[in-house]
Chain A
Amino acid sequence: MPNRRFGFYLALPAILVLLVLLAIPALLTLFQSLFVVPDDGIGIGQFTDVDNYLFIFKNEIFWATCLRSIVFAAIFIIGSTLIGLAGALLLNEKFVGRLFLRGLLVLPWACPWLIVGIIWKWFLDGNIGLLNGVLMRLNLISSNQDFLSNPDTALVMTALAATWRQSCLVALLLLAGLQTMPRDIWDAASVDGAGIIQRFRHITLPWLRPALTVVTVLNVIYGLMQFDVIFAMTQGGPGSATTLLSYLIYRQFFIFTNFGVGSALAVALAVIALIGGLIAVKTLYRKIEV
């Protein structure tokens, strides 16, 4: 059997699963976004052309929420990538307790997003939260801060909570990438007089580029689709300070039971995520030239 055909057969189960679980619902969502879907969910309803899209694009709430979602995602993507990269570099070095710390990396990732939200809600609590306690002891604040009830800090704090979990996955993926890097390249560069920053810039970073591309695309998706952490920590509040597009979609589907508009919002979010993912790939993906 030719290699290509054999490869196709191996991939076929995964392709079928993806078709059923992703492609069909995605197409259905796209389809529904052009209709007024009946509340009872029976039938597809009346074709409305692009009215659902016009409705959301003409609504200032949509644009404000878009901007908020992008800010949230930017904090999430940059934060989790940088923290994850730093963690991976650290855990790639030899020191006592390295294995234990590597094991700990899995713990946040093993927590469901909702639980992460609850943990961080207590951590940031305005009266008894650990963060306030630490900041007070370090004399960085003189009185307790209500991070989640303050519209100026709530979005950043919820993004940091999500970042905490995601940075562990990023660290794991990048650590795996680092461990495949031949040590002799690094050693040869040292012999040639390259400093630590030069070695990182010209050897480590290019080596990690494919892994970074995957990680960043994942971060774009997780950052823009984030719902659970927000739901657990602020329910989109105070006011609309943490209301993201995913929250609007939830409201349209399950509160207003407006599947047409909900689907249009979902398509809009998917397009934003797609653009974000493409930018990440375009910016980061290059062939390894080490």
Chain B
Amino acid sequence: MESSETGSGLNSNLDRRSLLTAMGVAGLTTAPLISSSMMSSADAAGQTINFTAWEYQPDTIKSLVKSWSGKTGNKVNISFIPNVGYTAGIQARQRGGKPADVFYNFAYNSQKFVNQKWAADLRGLPGADKMVAEMFPSARSRFVAENGAIVSAPYFSAVHMLQYNKKMVAAAGFSSTPNSLQETYDQCKKIKANGVASPYVAYWVKDFVEEYLHVYLLAGGVKPFDNKGDPIFMDDPKTLEVLEWWQAMYKDGMTPKSVLTDDPGKHTTSIANGDAAFYALHHYFLRDIVESKGSASADIAQAKIVGTGGKTLQMGEVIQMGGKVSGKKKAAAWDFMKTYGYKDSKGEFSTFQKWAASGALCAPYPGFFKDPKVIAAFPKYMDLSLIQDTFQNSSDIVPARTLPWYQGFQAQCGTVIHDLLLGNSNPRATANALAIACKTAKSGSGL
């Protein structure tokens, strides 16, 4: 682990998980004291916040911003950048001297942005510790760096789930969804024999396949990285089993051959029209499947990816504060971030309530799932308690995914995994290539 990259000044013997747990307890007990002694957001009225977001539900974003502005007397200038090219866009603005005060970011960029002073460390801001303390313990390390810096607040969180066609699974003679990767293959094979040409779909495009690497490693009982962020998956024999399974799924036609370039929209249409039995992706895609009103939409339900035994990947994106924001503007920006990524001034998850209603998005707080307004807002065809249980007990965020070098690994991962699926590589060589990709990403020597 290159702790110097994160600027760690902590004793390296201190376990990361212990630190985060301690932060949780400390945050819950000391936050009220700290909050009262810190700058109040009420001091910060009349500020103008420059907010940059990507274009997911821009009208919802505008209404959330308008609501906060109305309550606080601060103005927010919203700037949208298309999802495609957001990373390049936000970096170009930073380098061009036009940084945002508050901005959406991909979690894998968050620590890098703090290291580069493009984003602020939120430690010490009123309620920041409490925000972290109220999260699922499994989620905290997405927002807290190894040195204790709070790098971001949540924009949304999600878990990978298996959307499945109940009738197809039952017709193939199975009483439940798969409880292992092997069972996934077996069920697919049976369903394929029943006439569904490509039973399994997933978003395996080059730039996204890295998420599935973790989904399947976790499902196969493999811990991908150790607590220091060093890769350990290649030393685990189960990794080879996972990669063999993955290759077989593609090679044996359990997925369409076009899965390497297909978009989620196509997969949604596919399962909603009865052309696929399984669709592995974030939980909120069930909403698209049901609301597309395809011929099989009513038959689609949601399950954990490998039943009750294994874990899946918990993901989410974040909001960050610009590294140069200071004074009263900082107080206003933080108040905005708290409202957007935590709770409003009344202590309600008002932003997340809205996202739950409009996009079935979740927040990494147990309190979110108990909030009556969230429960009322969440689509009725989704099993919120199952999603909560997955967040709480059956998912892992893989902390290494937010380390500063990680995006370099992600960029190389797609080529390596595609080579495996296309039969140009075998599982052992793939595991080795992934380990080399980690090494080059860490040293910044990837091409």
List the 6 shortest-distance A-B pairs measured between CB atoms, nearest first.
A237-B206, A126-B258, A41-B95, A40-B116, A239-B418, A146-B257
- Could you write out 13 A-B pairs with CB less than 8 Å apart? A40-B116, A114-B84, A127-B266, A127-B275, A236-B415, A237-B206, A237-B260, A237-B415, A238-B421, A240-B415, A250-B88, A254-B88, A255-B411
B297 within 8 A of A: no
* Complex interface: chain A residues within 8 A of B407 (CB): 255-256
Looking across the interface, which residue of chain B has its beta carbon closest to that of A234? B261
* Complex interface: chain B residues within 8 A of A251 (CB): 411, 447
Secondary structure call for the B interface = helix
B250 to A: closest C-beta gap in Å: 10
Known contacts A56-B447, A237-B415, A256-B411, then 9 further A-B pairs from the complex at CB < 8 Å, ordered by chain A residue: A61-B447, A62-B447, A114-B84, A125-B266, A232-B84, A237-B205, A239-B206, A251-B447, A255-B411
* Complex interface: chain B residues within 8 A of A253 (CB): 88, 91
Stretch from A9-17, A147-155, A208-216 at the B interface: A147-155
A258 within 8 A of B: yes
* Complex interface: chain B residues within 8 A of A150 (CB): 257
Interface size class for chain A? Answer: 35 or more
Write out, one digit per residue, whether chain A residues 256-278 have a CB within 8 A of any chain B CB (1) or not (0): 11100100000000000000000
B124 within 8 A of A: no
Decide yes or no: A252 and B447 within 8 Å by CB, A39-B116, A151-B422 being known contacts. yes
B306 to A: closest C-beta gap in Å: 26
Looking across the interface, which residue of chain A has its beta carbon closest to that of B206? A237
A243 within 8 A of B: yes
Interface size class for chain B? Answer: 35 or more
* Complex interface: chain B residues within 8 A of A238 (CB): 206, 260-261, 418, 421-422
Say whether A59 contacts B207, CB under 8 Å: no
Say whether B112 contacts A239, CB under 8 Å: no
A204 within 8 A of B: no
* Complex interface: chain A residues within 8 A of B118 (CB): 40
Give the interface of A toward B (CB within 8 A).
Answer: 39-41, 55-56, 59, 61-62, 114, 121, 125-127, 146, 148-151, 154, 231-240, 243, 248, 250-258, 261
* Complex interface: chain A residues within 8 A of B50 (CB): none
Decide yes or no: A237 and B414 within 8 Å by CB, A114-B84, A146-B257, A253-B88 being known contacts. yes
Say whether B87 contacts A126, CB under 8 Å: no
* Complex interface: chain A residues within 8 A of B367 (CB): none
Say whether A235 contacts B258, CB under 8 Å: no
* Complex interface: chain A residues within 8 A of B444 (CB): 256, 258
Cα of A55 to Cα of B84 in the assembled complex, Å = 29
